[in-house]
Amino acid sequence: MSTLTVTPLPALQPRSRFGVIAWVCSVFLVVIVVGALLAPMLAPYAPDEIDFDNIWSSPNAAHWLGTDQLGRDLLSRALFGARDSLLGPVLLLLLATVAGLAIGTLAAWKGGWVDTLLARITDVMFAFPGILFVVLVIAVLGQGAATTIVALALAYTPVIAKYTRSLVLAEMVRPYVDAYRLQGVSPTSIAVRFVVPNIAPSMVGYLVVLFGDALMSLATLSYLGFGSQPPSSEWGLMVQEGQSAVIQGYFWPVFVPGALIALVVVAVNVVGVKISDRMNARMR
Amino acid sequence: MSTEVVGLTKTFTAQRGAAPVRAAQGVSFTIPRGGSLGLVGESGSGKSTVARMIAGLERPDAGSIMVDGEDRTRPARGGLARRRRASQVQMVFQDPYGSLDRRLTVDQALRHAATVAGAASTQAASSRARELMDAVRLPADTASKHPRELSGGQRQRVAIARALASRPSLLILDEAVSALDVSVQAQVLDVLHELRAEAGVSLLFVSHDLGVVSRITEETLVLYRGAQVEHASTESVLHDPQHPYTRMLVAAVPGEGWDPDAVVELRREFERSALS
C-alpha cells in the first residue's frame, strides 16, 4: 500500500516572531535591571569595601568576578555601577526625546523659520564632533554626572528632532491627515494626538539604537573623567580605574565592566528592534 | 443650499525653470441641493486639484467657492469656523487604507468623528457611530476591527461613514471607487445612491472612468489640462459628446462595441485638433 505523504509548505513566519536570541537578550536585560535595583541586597560586599590582602584576584568562590586594585569586589561594584550606567542613558534620552519630538514635529508641521532654524542647528551639530560639543558644555556647566547627562541630552536633541521631522513629513501627506483636517480637528490636535502616536513604532526603533549609543557615550565621558566621579562605580569609570590592572597583566577589572557595556548595548538593540517590528506589524 | 463654483483657477510652479502646471483654468459649475456632478478627465487633468480646492485642502489662485452661502476660498480661522466648514463639505479619498488612521478601530474612528462633529455625550457619539455604520451598511462585527483587518470596500465605507458624521451638504468622492473591484464598486455606489435619497447630500464625483460616473451623476463636467471642455447632462455627454476629447473618453468606456484601436484613433484626431 502506498501512502502519499503531503508535506505542507512551511508557513511563512511573520517578522513578529520573537525568537530565541531575543528571549535570551530580554532575560539578560531583566537580570541586569533587577540586579541594579536590588544591588544593596544582592551584592555580596559593599562596593567600596577595601581589602588589601585580595587585590587583583581572579574569579574565585569568595569573589565571583574577582577584585580590583584595592581589593574591592568587582561583582558588587558592577551591580551598583549598573544604576548610574543604565539610568544615565534613560534620563538623557527622555530629555532629548521630549525636546526633539516637540521641535521636530513643530518644524515639519509649521515649516518656515522654525524649520530653517532646526536645519541650521543640526548642520552645525553634525559638522561638530559630538564629544567635543559635550566637553564644551561640561566646561561651561562644570563636571559631574548630572551635567554630563544634560550635555548629552543637548547633543541628542537635534538628532532626534531631525528624525522626527522626516517621520512627520512622511506622515503628513497621508490622506487620513487631510480627513482629520476636513473634520475640523485643530492642527495642534492632529499633530499631537494622531500623527505623533502614528510615528511611535519607528521612533522606538530609533531610540533603541540611540540608547546603545548614549550608554557608550556616557561610559566614554566617565572614562575620560568628565562624567560620574569616584566613589561611583559607573562602568566607564570602572574601565578607567582598571587600566593599571591591565598594565600589570590582570584583565578582569577591565573585562567585567567592558563586557557588560558591550552585552547591554547588543541586548538592547536586539530586543528593541523586535519590539519596534511588533508595533509596526500591529499597525500595518 | 447649493454649491456654486465660479472661475476656479490654480497654477502650480514646481521648480525654477519648469513649465507651470495649470491645474484649473476658470472652472465653474453649480450643484443644486441633492444634485450630483461628475468631474471627469485623465490623470493630470486637474480634477483632483479642483476637488481639493472645494474641500479647502488647497487654496485657489482665483475664483470663488460658495457652499451653503459661505465663501470657502479663504482658510477657516478658529474652532467654530472649522466645524461649520466641516458640516459643509467632506471628502472620501482614493486610497481606502491611507485615508483611515491605522491605530483606530472602526468604532473609535466613527465615535471620534461624531464627537468632533458635536455629539453632546459619549453615549450620543456611540449611537451616532452605530447609525453611521448602518447608513453605509457595515456589518456590526466590523466595529472592533482595525483598518488592516477590513477589505477595500469595507474601508471605503468606513471612510464614507466618517465623512457623513458632520452631515455635510456636499460629499466629494475623489476616485473613491477606483481602487475597488467591480462588484464592490457596485455596492459602494448603491450606498451612495441611498445616501442621496435619504440624506439629501449633494455629490461631486471625481473619476477618470466615465462608465462609473454615468451610474451615479446627472451632470458631467469634462476637464482637460485644467480647462473645462464640456459640461452637460451625463446622458448627453455619453450619447452625444461634443468635444473631440470627450468623444475619446466615451469611446474608452468598456462595454458593447468597445474598440481600443478606435480610442487610439480618436486620441490622435483630438490631439491634431488641439494643436490647430
* Beta carbons of B101 and A181 less than 8 Å apart: no
Q: Which residue has the higher pLDDT, A150 or A228?
A: A150
pLDDT of residue A2: 60
Q: Which residue has the higher pLDDT, A228 or A141?
A: A141
Nearest CA in chain A to B94: A175
Average pLDDT over residues A223-247: 84
The cell numbers describing A89, all together, are: 542613558
Which residues of chain A have a CB within 8 Å of the CB of B148? 283-284
pLDDT of residue A135: 86
Q: Do residues A226 and A148 lie in contact, with contact meaning Cβ atoms separated by under 8 Å?
A: yes
Q: Which residue has the cell 487631510?
A: A178
For chain A, the structural domain boundaries read 83-236+266-283
The Cα A3–Cα A282 span in angstroms is 42
Question: Integer distance in angstroms from the first to the last C-alpha of chain B?
Answer: 42
Checking if the pLDDT of A1 tops 60, the result is no
- Top-ranked range on mean pLDDT: pick from A57-61, B61-65, B116-120: B61-65
Alpha helices in A74-228 (DSSP H): 74-110, 112-127, 130-141, 145-172, 175-183, 187-189, 196-223
A172, A183, A280: which to substitute to probe chain B, counting the most B Cβ within 10 Å?
Answer: A183
Helices A130-141, A196-223: inter-axial angle, 10-degree rounding: 70
Q: Do residues A8 and A40 lie in contact, with contact meaning Cβ atoms separated by under 8 Å?
A: no
pLDDT of residue A283: 67
Q: Are strands B21-31 and B3-12 parallel, antiparallel or unpaired?
A: antiparallel
Q: Do residues B126 and B108 lie in contact, with contact meaning Cβ atoms separated by under 8 Å?
A: no
pTM of the model: 0.82
pLDDT of residue B38: 93
* Beta carbons of B116 and A194 less than 8 Å apart: no
Mean pLDDT score of chain A, rounded to an integer? 85
pLDDT of residue A45: 81
* Beta carbons of A178 and B102 less than 8 Å apart: no
Checking if the pLDDT of A107 tops 70, the result is yes
B187-234 pLDDT, tens per residue? 888 888 888 888 788 999 999 888 888 888 999 999 988 888 889 889
pLDDT of residue A176: 94
Share of chain A above pLDDT 70, in %: 93
DSSP structural state of residue A67: B
Query: CA of A45, closest CA in chain B: separation in Å?
Result: 50
Average pLDDT over residues A230-248: 84
pLDDT of residue A119: 87
Which of the four pLDDT bands, split at 50, 70 and 90, describes residue B54?
very high
Residue B57: CA count within 13 A, CB half-sphere: 25
* Beta carbons of B101 and A175 less than 8 Å apart: no
Average pLDDT over residues B235-247: 86
Selected from 3.40.190.10, 1.10.3720.10, 2.170.260.10, 2.40.110.10, the CATH number assigned to the domain covering A83-236+266-283 reads 1.10.3720.10
| ipTM beyond cut 0.85 | yes
Q: Nearest by CB to B55, which of A176, A182, A184?
A: A182
The cell numbers describing A121, all together, are: 542647528
Q: In DSSP terms, which residues pair with B5 in a beta bridge?
A: B29, B65
Checking if the pLDDT of B85 tops 70, the result is yes
pLDDT of residue A14: 54
Average pLDDT over residues B91-98: 89
Which of the four pLDDT bands, split at 50, 70 and 90, describes residue A98?
very high
The Cα B1–Cα B31 span in angstroms is 9
Q: Give the Cβ contact number of residue A61 at 10 Å.
A: 5
CA B204, chain centre distance (Å): 5
B53, B67, B103: which to substitute to probe chain A, counting the most A Cβ within 10 Å?
Answer: B103
Q: Do residues B241 and B226 lie in contact, with contact meaning Cβ atoms separated by under 8 Å?
A: no
Checking if the pLDDT of A104 tops 80, the result is yes
Give the residue numbers in A contacting B (CB under 8 Å), as ranges: 174-176, 178-186, 194, 197-198, 283-284
Q: Do residues A238 and A232 lie in contact, with contact meaning Cβ atoms separated by under 8 Å?
A: no
Q: Which residue has the higher pLDDT, B150 or A249?
A: B150
Which of the four pLDDT bands, split at 50, 70 and 90, describes residue A242?
confident
Average pLDDT over residues A242-265: 86
The cell numbers describing B157, all together, are: 465605507
The Cα A81–Cα A83 span in angstroms is 5
Nearest CA in chain B to A182: B86
Query: Buried b vs exposed e over B90-120: b needs ≥16 C-beta within 10 Å?
Result: bbbbbbbbbbbbebbbbbebbbbbbbbbbbe
pLDDT of residue A15: 52
Positive or negative, the CA dihedral B162, B163, B168, B169 is negative
Checking if the pLDDT of A94 tops 90, the result is yes
Query: Buried b vs exposed e over B152-172: b needs ≥16 C-beta within 10 Å?
Result: bbbbbbbbbbbbbbbebbbbb
Which of the four pLDDT bands, split at 50, 70 and 90, describes residue B111?
very high
Query: One-letter amino acid identity for A284?
Result: R
The Cα B119–Cα A248 span in angstroms is 77
Question: Integer distance in angstroms from the first to the last C-alpha of chain A?
Answer: 49
Average pLDDT over residues B252-274: 78
Q: Do residues B238 and B252 lie in contact, with contact meaning Cβ atoms separated by under 8 Å?
A: no
Which of the four pLDDT bands, split at 50, 70 and 90, describes residue B109?
very high
* Beta carbons of B103 and A184 less than 8 Å apart: no
The Cα B195–Cα B168 span in angstroms is 11
